[in-house]
Structure 1
């Protein structure tokens, strides 16, 4: 995660959000993150804006539209239900954010 100010401050000040709710499982229990949750410490991990090729770009463009070269895979962090969560999603500048999932629920407590 990013450096400098605290995670709580960075998340609170973030202007990036995800429009839909997500479910994740931690310790055998299913949790829900409400739509519109904020994301911070965002990185492009593949595709446009990265040195790494997004291998599923053609598939993604076929399913969601746009050009394959304009799709990217991103990751960021959020907090919900007292957990810090790493979220991955697909993004296109004209189409928006799609197909988000909680990739790594952290066992750390967020308070």
Structure 2
């Protein structure tokens, strides 16, 4: 018997918003890489995110390890985007202002 060795691609897809997802799930590359860097095993990742398959998690980790510099740049870009969105939302909906209004209403009751 001969073992057929076929190269397989990482189970990663980019959605229309530019977010990289693992397999056919809504779990992001960011999520898998972050918990992996925290020391979580592939099996524990699958336990936390049951929509993921174990082989997909291992393939995603392998992709990260082989393309660490590019993935880290992508993660940095995503963090910067998240910070910009957070700042934009806070400027539009000032949480301190909202808190003050709620406290005023509570005091009036």
Say yes or no: TM over 0.5. Answer: no
**1 or 2, which has the higher helix percentage?**
2
**TM value normalised by structure 2:** 0.23
TM-score (norm 1): 0.23
The structure with the largest alpha-carbon Rg is 2
Tell me: higher relative CO, structure 1 or 2? Use CA pairs within 8 A at least 6 residues apart.
1
